[in-house]
Chain A
Amino acid sequence: MVALFVALTFIIFLVIDFFVLRSQKKVHPAFMPNSVFDKSSIYFPGKYLLSKGHIWLQALKNDTYKLGLDEFVVRAMNNIVINTIAEEGTKIKKGDVLFSGTAGGHPVAFYAPVGGTVSQINTNILNKNIEDIYNEDWGVILQVESQAKIQEIAFEAVKAKAWMQSEFKRLKDFLTIQTAEPELAGLTMADGGNIAEGAVSMLSDKVVAAFENDFLKQ
């Protein structure tokens, strides 16, 4: 009975807290829609690097890097489906298209942050939503032309996270300018709050193209 008493007390406190929050017109984090993100929830793994085109790089060996899309861009666009990936063995230059596909049905492309040879591609990401951003859903393994170039174009983890947070602010400004219907972009944007996940791809092809130009091309 003691066990039951303690367990019920714990649950009752959680339930009371839920109603207290409700009386304050707040929502418990567990019941917030998944489709909201803010700068404090953006995560970037240590030891990874990040380019300004929102492509992460993980150093492997012998000048090879694993590349993928970062959390910011995946959550800003949401429902990103990759249809084509640069072919294995091809040489690409910085700024060439690395992956292309759709975001919420709008065409979008992602660009190589650095030149090199594509040594391996992850076909598992084709034609499905990107979900496991920093692990299973990587895009390509690239043998880079120059190790020194990596230092020029990529942030290390600590700085990357801060930079992504500044991108969050830039995204708010972008959405405010791009749309005449700001409610599409955010739930509480006016007071500096959250942006609805996938806000970019809720808009037109033109806005997605502008986002690609402003955020994905370096």
Chain B
Amino acid sequence: MKAAFLRLTFWKVIAVAIITFGLYSTFLRFTQGLASVTNLSDSFPWGMWIGFDILCGVCLAAGGFLICAITHIFNIEEFKPLTRSAILTAFLGYVMVVFALLFDLGRPLNIWHALIMWNPHSVMFEVAWCVMLYSSVLFLEFSPVILERFQLTRLLKIVKRVSLPIMILGVLLSTLHQSSLGSLFLIVPAKMHPLWYSPLLPVYFYLSAIGTGFGMIIFESYLSARSFNKGLEMPLLSRIGLFAAIFVAAVFVIRFSDLALTGKLHYLLIPCQETYMFALEIVIGMIIPFAILIQKRNRQSRKWLYFGSVSLIVGALLNRLNVSITALNGFSKANYFPSVNEIAITMMLVVIGMIAFKYAVQYLPVFAEEEHTEVLDTNVVVENE
């Protein structure tokens, strides 16, 4: 009974505390403006909300488009059991990105301007449209789960009929979006530390999002196993781990080739905060996960596969925050660190996303993969235990 009490309350208490403080910070943000709750300034206008909520959020949501590409474009159907939860994670991730944008925009009520005031020469214009369109596409990709839940079979059939073009559109938009977030930083070559600035930033963002997306699929499976007493599809996750290792190796090779060809390797020998952070990012985000996941024995081990995925995610967090904050801190001399309110709002969004995931899994057939759909199609009645 005591254990049950602890299980029921520990994370709930933490979640309530985070949300309460987050709501208080939200109130301050929308009543007193950005300056009252953030440490942002004219010399450092993009902080944690852009770096974590948007760049990291989008990167970690990459699992959705990857699994769609694998199962619906490359037609490797055996990965279908992972599809719905990956799409749900991506959808919630993007919804949180949109909410985070509302916090960060100086005039959030003008967020709709991108719809009619087009500026096709701006990378932000592409980002805005990709976020809007891909969030809609993710909703459509996830909609069969909702339609099944409420047994709206006619609508379900229509959605299923258009599911392939939707999936392809989703992969296309996500590709554009992941890379265009890297393109955002191409406009500040003189302000970024050379270890991170490269004309290939869009390519790095895209390829690293793929590696991280695979890591996120694995990590999300463990979270689901932990929270919903669900088994792990180890044969599938093990293969996903191999894909992640391949992409991490590709990014590593391209990145260091780029540094060598552009004569930037000597920056690695300069003892400063940027060098240490770069080294940490490479070791945690590339070398460790590659060393773990390239070995079949490790990929078949629950423990090592988990460590590999955590390492990929931590590496992605370090990379995106290094690009958006560490690499710019030196030039701006702002020495930015987020305020307590910024942190509270970010944590609140993460907690809300996790709660939404929990309830979606609880009330929708997220882990039933395509079974329900196929049962409806074929009228085969399968008696599950």
Whether B77 lies near A46 (C-beta < 8 A) is yes
* Interface bits B291-319 vs A (CB < 8 Å: 1, else 0): 00000000011110111001001100110
Whether B77 lies near A47 (C-beta < 8 A) is yes
Name the A residues within 8 Å of B11 (CB-CB): 17, 20
A29 to B220, CA, bound (A): 12
Name the B residues within 8 Å of A159 (CB-CB): 380, 382
Whether B6 lies near A24 (C-beta < 8 A) is yes
Name the A residues within 8 Å of B338 (CB-CB): 2
* Interface bits B141-162 vs A (CB < 8 Å: 1, else 0): 0000000000000000000000
Interface residues on B, range: 35 or more
Known: A40-B231, A45-B78, A158-B380. A2 touches B321 (CB 8 A): yes
Name the B residues within 8 Å of A10 (CB-CB): 313-314, 317
CB closest residue in chain A, given B5: A24
* Interface bits A1-21 vs B (CB < 8 Å: 1, else 0): 111111100110010010011
Whether A34 lies near B77 (C-beta < 8 A) is no
Of B112-120, B169-177, B369-377, the one with at least 4 CB within 8 A of chain A: B369-377
Whether A134 lies near B317 (C-beta < 8 A) is no
Whether B300 lies near A131 (C-beta < 8 A) is yes
Is A106 part of the contact surface with B, judged by Cβ < 8 Å? no
Is B230 part of the contact surface with A, judged by Cβ < 8 Å? yes
Known: A3-B277, A20-B6, A29-B232. A34 touches B383 (CB 8 A): no
A31 to B304, CA, bound (A): 9
Is B273 part of the contact surface with A, judged by Cβ < 8 Å? yes
* Count of A interface residues, CB-CB < 8 Å: 45
Whether A4 lies near B280 (C-beta < 8 A) is yes
- Nearest chain A CB to B312 CB, angstrom units: 12
Which 3 A-B residue pairings sit nearest by Cβ, starting from the closest?
A: A41-B231, A30-B306, A3-B321
Known: A4-B280, A37-B231, A39-B385. 6 other contacts (CB 8 A): A1-B326, A2-B336, A23-B3, A28-B226, A38-B231, A43-B233
B residues bordering A, Cβ < 8 Å? 3, 6-7, 10-11, 47-48, 51-52, 56, 77-78, 80-81, 222, 225-226, 229-236, 273, 277, 280-281, 284, 300-303, 305-307, 310, 313-314, 317-318, 321-322, 325-326, 336-338, 370-371, 374-375, 378, 380, 382-385
A residues bordering B, Cβ < 8 Å? 1-7, 10-11, 14, 17, 20-21, 23-26, 28-32, 34, 37-43, 45-47, 71, 131-134, 158-159, 161-162, 165-166, 169
